[in-house]
Amino acid sequence: MTNNNSQQNILVLIYDNLISILFWFILSFLALVSIKHTCLVDSYEITFFLKDKPLIHIALILILITVFTLLKYSSFIGSLEKRLETDSRFFKTLTGAGLLIIFFLSLYFIFSAKLAPVSDQLFVQEAAEAFSKGDYSSLEKGGYLAVYPNQLGLVWISYVFFSIFGFGNYQAFQIMNALFLVMFYKKLSDITGLVSPGKKLPTLSVILLGILFYPLQIYCTFVYGTIPGLALSAASVYYALTFQNELKKKDAILSALFILLAMLFKPNYLICFIGIFLHAVIGIFRKNSPASDSKTEAKTSIKKEVLFSALLITAFIVQSKLPGIVTSTVTKMDTPKGASSLSWIAMGFQESGLAEGWYNGYNIKTLHEFDFDSELQSEAAKEEIVSRLSYFVHNPHYSVEFFTRKLTSEWNDPTYEAYWILRTSNKSEDSSAWAKTFISYDNYLKGVGFLNFLQTFILIGALLFASSRLFAEKKVACLSVPIQSADILLEIILIGGFFFHLMWEAKSQYTLTYIALLLPLSIVGYHRFINAVTRASKQSLALFAVKMLIPVALFAFIYSGSIGSHMSEDNDAYLRTIERELSE
């Protein structure tokens, strides 16, 4: 091995282990707050910080692990695993059945709730319909798109879509969402196969978990870019991983194309793009698929990796320029610059009546103050950011509490505002009786309770996955596994989302993407751990558990005082609020 190759291996080793450690710490924090606390919003999106029941969460997780472990010994599971591995037709049949269930559940929510778009959804669709009539007033000073030109991609997609299916035909868009959700889970199961090569049971289990994780089915009623962008991002991740395994140009092109489309639907998927791009760049240094170590094959591999990175850069440039070019060409108007991106960060550092770092109107207010001059607004936002950072530095206790509550409000809503989307269905004359019953007070509390535990289940599985790579003994082969390229890419996307939303305007809707992409790691985490329980010694498992829980114990100590108490003080107020809202 040459010195150059040694340096490359060291770079990759540092990258992989740094990502693994960061992922482990973040999952430890998220798992702890999920067990101890819960955050839920009312109809005005005001966040309530609730005390949870940690002993019940822990007991249920242990019971499930015990049940799964006992099932591992059963002849039924053994024969099922064997048949899944050997009978591809059987595996495809079960996979297809699971995807059909997800599709029809999504349709059931769509046709039962019969929800029309509101808020930003509505403003985007109104702009698209106005464009069809030659009305471009939303681009003018004071118009919606003059503030949010980042929505232009979705506006033009909606323009084309509704030109075909009819403006106001929102159910057509919602059905499209359901189809994209099927695409998402199909690609997510394919990604699981790359995380755990040769294992069909985890791949199938991801789809089964998707049936239970119904916030995404509810989001199919959202006439917005959330579900299409999520599906396209997952497809991009999958093809990026298959490219790095096989180095086929077709996969590189598909990955770049799908992430381009995802960002056109919703610019927030830029985080997924950054993760894929960073992974592509590291792929240049990573020893990849060529079986031979010859210099010729190595150079060919590097050239293809560089080409993939170039394709991703091209995709980014196209998605950033295309909506503006189309707008200027069609409307003969300059594309507005809109609110400065720094204004969103400044707002993310401020207090809000909803929760720390949530929307408070700062971006719109300051844009109006500076007469829609984005550059002047940007300078003001810089000053505000510097001022807030200075305040955080000089008030450490306040800073810890501020960012803890901000992160918790974003990541610890087990509904991810899915019920907030359905909030009007219990009063709508168009909604079915089932939809109104689903959102009734008693059923709402049952649904939230189920999702609350499901969130903990997902996070604990991902924590087991993160810990297995770092702390499992080498002799426990089912736990001690080499780092896979697929693992690292999913982890870097979650890490990117965590730090991005630490700074950006907060909203629990935004984190749904990252939790959904976490499902493969969660399922594989449980699969590996249960295999270890059946094979490893009690001493090895106990040592593994102690190491795994080090940051959990650290976070528990930090939040044992006043900061922790401030994250669990709203139980009574929330129950009164929800009972009033759902009984009106």
Say how far apart CA 413 and CA 294 lie, in whole Å: 52
Residues in the chain: 584
Say how far apart CA 320 and CA 318 lie, in whole Å: 5
Classify 570 in phi/psi space as left (phi over 0), alpha (psi -120 to 50) or beta: alpha
In the numeric block, the tokens 């976070």 are attached to: 555
Extract the tokens encoding 109. 């929510």
Say how far apart CA 156 and CA 116 lie, in whole Å: 19
3-state secondary structure 482-515: CCCHHHHHHHHHHHHHHHHHHHCCECHHHHHHHH
Number of Cβ atoms within 10 Å of the Cβ of 50? 21
Angle between helices 550-558 and 538-548 (to 10 degrees): 40
Extract the tokens encoding 348. 């993310």
CA neighbor of 348 nearest in space, from 497, 494, 120, 507: 507
Say how far apart CA 398 and CA 370 lie, in whole Å: 31
Say how far apart CA 40 and CA 422 lie, in whole Å: 14
**Is there a contact between 523 and 192 (Cβ–Cβ < 8 Å)?**
yes
Question: For every one of its 584 residues, what pLDDT tens digit does the chain have, with 9 covering 90 and above?
Answer: 334 444 457 888 888 889 999 999 999 999 999 999 999 999 899 999 999 999 999 999 999 999 988 888 888 888 888 888 888 899 999 999 999 999 999 999 999 988 888 889 999 999 999 999 999 999 999 899 999 999 999 999 999 999 999 999 999 999 999 999 999 999 999 999 999 887 899 999 999 999 999 999 999 999 999 999 999 999 999 999 999 888 899 999 999 999 999 999 999 999 999 999 999 998 888 755 444 455 666 677 788 889 999 999 999 999 999 999 999 999 999 999 999 999 999 999 999 999 999 999 999 999 999 999 999 999 999 999 999 999 999 999 999 999 999 999 999 999 999 999 888 766 677 788 888 888 888 999 999 999 999 999 999 999 999 988 777 655 444 554 555 667 899 999 999 999 999 999 999 999 999 999 999 999 999 998 888 877 777 777 788 888 888 888 888 888 877 777 777 888 899 999 998 888 75
pLDDT of residue 478: 52
Q: Is 48 helix (H, G, I), strand (E, B) or coil?
A: strand
What string of DSSP letters covers 353-412?
SSSTTB--SHHHHHHHHTTT-HHHHHHHHHHHHHHHHHHHHH-HHHHHHHHHHHHHHHH-
Q: What angle do CA 92, 98, 103 make, to 5 degrees?
A: 120
CA neighbor of 436 nearest in space, from 320, 548, 584, 287: 584
Number of Cβ atoms within 10 Å of the Cβ of 109? 25
pLDDT of residue 4: 44
**Is there a contact between 486 and 191 (Cβ–Cβ < 8 Å)?**
yes
Q: Is 51 helix (H, G, I), strand (E, B) or coil?
A: strand
Q: What angle do CA 402, 403, 405 make, to 5 degrees?
A: 70
Please give the distance of CA 286 from its chain centroid, rounded to a whole number. 26
CA 44 to each of CA 47, 161, 373, 542, 583: distance values in angstroms, whole numbers, following the listed order: 9, 31, 30, 46, 16
Q: Is 476 helix (H, G, I), strand (E, B) or coil?
A: coil
**Is there a contact between 468 and 20 (Cβ–Cβ < 8 Å)?**
no
What string of DSSP letters covers 196-249?
STT-HHHHHHHHHHHHH-THHHHGGG--SSHHHHHHHHHHHHHHHHHHHHH--H
